[in-house]
């Protein structure tokens, strides 16, 4: 391209259009993060379902702690991808912000789920109130320890938000379908017990992230963008 | 009366660079070179001219012991680019 070549007005406009078009095709999502989280959450959901179904435990180790461990490879993936990246588009920047906020929100809900029941019980206790539950069949009254009802449903709403946003912005159908499926699964989860909530969790993670991630990976290896 | 087209932008390579940078948050020198199909020397000179005009910010650093130059359009550059496109439209409308 010549440095001082003077352009006609038409040529200038054509050049601007051509360059902007070149940028559009320059970003390729590898799908690695989506595969990682789809696998981890999919596995944790299935494992929790199996635990509830077949009544076994893993002792002190809660299988969902794997999500904390998965942060390590995620950091490595992020660093490697940012090193390889030669350009940062506004779209990519916005998507990064959405997924970062999603990550913070997931841990905020986990914190809420773990802290609020105990705090609620303490607040009642400080007011001299003890919560009790009565078994209608036997008439036995026992202490009631508060918990967050169907917290899995809240997670499912959270899963849908960044997935659907990414799918719509990138015009990537597998994630759009995954996002809507997640809302459907959320509605179902409002009527199911913990055991089936875990199964729905697993289904959501696989349809939201694992399958779209594998499709992205395949496109990435072929050198196509989403 | 036609507004004169900005001479800094009305050159093939500089306009190509600005058109790339207007569409992204930031881009590495190598990316711009690939997309504009230019030589490193020529591109450096043109980016320097854009920098001198205050249209782009250039950050030079090292990555894995290799020099890394990152370019980013400035607010002044965005305004100049928008004015340039508006002026182009006026010329093209008049030509119809």
Task: Summarize pLDDT for A198-207 with one digit per residue, the tens.
Answer: 999 999 999 9
Cα-flanking dihedrals φ and ψ of residue A28, to 5°? -130, 115
Q: Which residues of A touch B47 (CB under 8 A)?
A: none
Please tell me the predicted confidence (pLDDT) of residue A225: 58
Q: Mean pLDDT across chain A, nearest whole number?
A: 91
Q: How confident is the model at residue A137 (pLDDT cuts 50, 70, 90)?
A: very high
Q: Are A87 and B28 inside 8 Å of each other by CB?
A: yes
Give a yes or no: residue A19 inside a domain: no
Q: How far apart are CA B51 and CA B32, in angstroms?
A: 15
Nearest residue to A52 (alpha-carbon basis) of A159, A152, A148: A152
Q: Output DSSP code: residue A28.
A: -
Strand-pair category, A87-89 with A132-134: unpaired
Task: Summarize pLDDT for A36-67 with one digit per residue, the tens.
Answer: 999 999 999 999 999 999 999 888 899 999 99
Nearest residue to B15 (alpha-carbon basis) of B57, B54, B46: B46
Could you tell me how far CA A113 lies from the centroid of its own chain? 17
Q: Are B20 and A23 inside 8 Å of each other by CB?
A: yes
Q: Are B12 and A1 inside 8 Å of each other by CB?
A: yes
Q: How confident is the model at residue B96 (pLDDT cuts 50, 70, 90)?
A: low
Give a yes or no: residue A1 inside a domain: no
Q: Are B15 and A12 inside 8 Å of each other by CB?
A: yes
B31: closest CA of chain A, how far (Å): 6
- Nearest C-alpha in B relative to A17: B19
**Interface mutation target, options A2, A3, A94, chain B, most CBs of B under 10 Å:** A3
Residue A26 in this model has a pLDDT that exceeds 90: no
- CA dihedral sign, ordered B31, B34, B35, B40: positive
Q: How confident is the model at residue A8 (pLDDT cuts 50, 70, 90)?
A: confident
B10: closest CA of chain A, how far (Å): 7
Query: What range does the domain containing A202 cover?
Result: 30-80+93-221
Q: What is the pTM of this model?
A: 0.82
Number of domain units in chain A: 1
Residue B17 in this model has a pLDDT that exceeds 70: yes
Give a yes or no: residue A8 inside a domain: no
Give a yes or no: residue A88 inside a domain: no
- How many Cβ contacts (< 8 angstroms) between chains A and B? 90
Residue by residue, DSSP assigns B40-82 as HHHHHHHHHHHHHTTSEEEEEEEETTEEEEEEEE-HHHHHHHH
B42: left (phi over 0), alpha (psi -120 to 50) or beta: alpha
Q: What is the mean pLDDT of residues A150-172?
A: 94
Give a yes or no: residue A182 inside a domain: yes
Q: How far apart are CA B41 and CA A28, in angstroms?
A: 28
Give a yes or no: residue A10 inside a domain: no
Task: Summarize pLDDT for B44-93 with one digit per residue, the tens.
Answer: 999 999 999 999 999 998 877 888 999 999 999 999 999 999 998 888 88
Residues 6+ apart with CB under 8 A from B30: A86
Q: How far apart are CA A173 and CA B90, in angstroms?
A: 40
Q: What is the mean pLDDT of residues A210-219?
A: 93
Please tell me the predicted confidence (pLDDT) of residue B62: 85
Angle at A1 between CA B10 and CA B84, to 5 degrees: 20
Please tell me the predicted confidence (pLDDT) of residue A111: 94
Average the pLDDT over each of A28-37, A167-176, A216-225, B15-24 and give the range with the smallest value: A216-225
What ipTM was assigned to the predicted interfaces of this complex? Answer: 0.88
Helices A9-24 and B75-95: crossing angle in degrees, nearest 10, is: 130
Q: Which residues of B touch A83 (CB under 8 A)?
A: 63-64
Please tell me the predicted confidence (pLDDT) of residue A4: 60
- Nearest C-alpha in B relative to A82: B63
Please tell me the predicted confidence (pLDDT) of residue B20: 95
Angle at A142 between CA A136 and CA A146, to 5 degrees: 100
| A135 three-class SS | coil
Please tell me the predicted confidence (pLDDT) of residue B2: 62
Q: Are A7 and B11 inside 8 Å of each other by CB?
A: yes
Give a yes or no: residue A71 inside a domain: yes
């Amino acid at each position: 391209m010549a440095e001082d070549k003077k352009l006609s007005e038409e040529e200038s406009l054509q050049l601007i259009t051509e360059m902007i078009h070149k940028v559009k095709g320059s970003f390729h999502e590898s799908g690695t993060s989506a595969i990682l989280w789809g696998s981890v959450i999919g596995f944790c959901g299935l494992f929790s379902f199996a635990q509830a179904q077949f009544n076994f435990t893993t002792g002190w180790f809660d299988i969902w702690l794997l999500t904390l461990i998965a942060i390590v490879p995620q950091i490595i993936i992020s660093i490697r991808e940012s090193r390889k990246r030669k350009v940062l588009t506004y779209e990519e920047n916005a998507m990064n912000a959405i997924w970062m906020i999603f990550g913070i929100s997931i841990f905020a809900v986990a914190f809420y789920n773990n802290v609020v029941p105990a705090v609620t019980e303490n607040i009642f206790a400080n007011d001299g109130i003890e919560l009790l539950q009565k078994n209608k069949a036997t008439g036995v009254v026992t202490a009631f320890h508060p918990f967050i009802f169907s917290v899995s449903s809240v997670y499912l709403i959270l899963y849908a938000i960044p997935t659907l946003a990414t799918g719509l912005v990138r015009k990537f159908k597998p994630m759009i379908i995954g996002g809507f499926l997640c809302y459907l699964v959320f509605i179902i989860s409002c009527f199911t017990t913990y055991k089936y909530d875990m199964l729905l969790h697993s289904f959501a993670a696989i349809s939201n992230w694992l399958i779209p991630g594998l499709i992205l990976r395949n496109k990435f290896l072929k050198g196509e963008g989403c | 009366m036609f507004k004169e087209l900005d001479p800094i932008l009305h050159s093939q390579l500089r306009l190509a660079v600005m058109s790339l940078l207007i569409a992204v948050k930031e881009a590495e020198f190598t990316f711009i070179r690939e997309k504009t199909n230019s030589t490193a020397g020529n591109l450096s000179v043109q980016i320097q001219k854009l920098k001198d005009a205050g249209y782009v910010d250039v950050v030079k650093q090292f990555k894995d012991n290799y020099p890394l130059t990152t370019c980013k359009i400035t607010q002044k550059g965005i305004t100049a680019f928008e004015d340039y496109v508006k002026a182009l439209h006026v010329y093209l409308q008049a030509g119809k």
